[in-house]
Amino acid sequence: MLLRKAVILAAGKGTRLMPFTNVIPKEMILVNKKPIIEHTIKLLFTCGIKDIAVITNFQKRAIIDHVALLQKTGFKISYFFQEKATGTAHAVYLVRKYVDDESFVVVYGDNYFESAVPIVQAVDFHVKKKAEATLLLHYLNKPYGSGLVKLDNDGRVLEIVDKPSIRESIMFKIKNKYIAISGLHILEPTVFQFIERTRPGRNGETWLTDSIELMREDGHSVYGILSRVRVWDIGTPEIMRKIQTSIA
């Protein structure tokens, strides 16, 4: 592990988890009696990453108050505020000065990792391939609501589509499965150039996966690594209940 910095995206509204997110931020949903964001921070610490930026908004005071308790254990936490829902690319762009010229990890705050193994493997793979972007991936039986990719035999990403329609997803089907993006990326500062070029999509938001696809189209090295360890995207009440039942 050679990376020092990580960015946790925790500014989203969590509309799919309403009414739960009317009461608490989705990143504060409990899994095994601890908020998801606490699990994430502690896993990053396990990987040697202790300099963490949390991107949130002013309505999520509960995140700031809880994370403040963790800082006593040796983390350096910085906060960046995304006041409007302008997308994940815009959120990451807020940390360009914090990142400076270093490689960094991006973790989606509503994803739960069962262990640190996928993080370690993704970082090691990124370094080995000398990649400019590495996506953590997993297999899905159904493509709905996920970003999908095509890979070559070396792990190089051939194409990315963010939350495709049913018709679009057919082109990404391989042996009755899909390769989907999990909630973690390893990025080089090059990505900020492509965030600047990313056009808004649905709801006027700019998406980080679109920026990474621009990188790939421009000839930069974008890779993906498949995780054998479960990464849960806690985006709906059904998944939230399922993970809480499975982990309890």
- Average pLDDT per 10 consecutive residues for the chain, totaling 248 residues: 87 62 72 86 90 85 81 80 88 95 93 88 95 94 82 94 80 88 94 95 86 96 90 65 62
| List of domains in the chain | 5-136+183-247 (3.90.550.10)
pLDDT confidence of residue 240 = 62
pLDDT confidence of residue 19 = 56
pLDDT confidence of residue 199 = 92
pLDDT confidence of residue 236 = 63
Is 0.85 topped by the overall pTM? yes
pLDDT confidence of residue 141 = 84
Report long-range pairs for 146-155 (Cβ below 8 Å, ≥24 apart): 146/178, 146/180, 146/181, 146/233, 147/180, 147/181, 147/209, 148/172, 148/178, 148/179, 148/180, 148/181, 149/179, 149/180, 149/181, 149/224, 150/179, 151/179, 151/224, 155/125, 155/129, 155/223, 155/224, 155/225
pLDDT confidence of residue 25 = 73
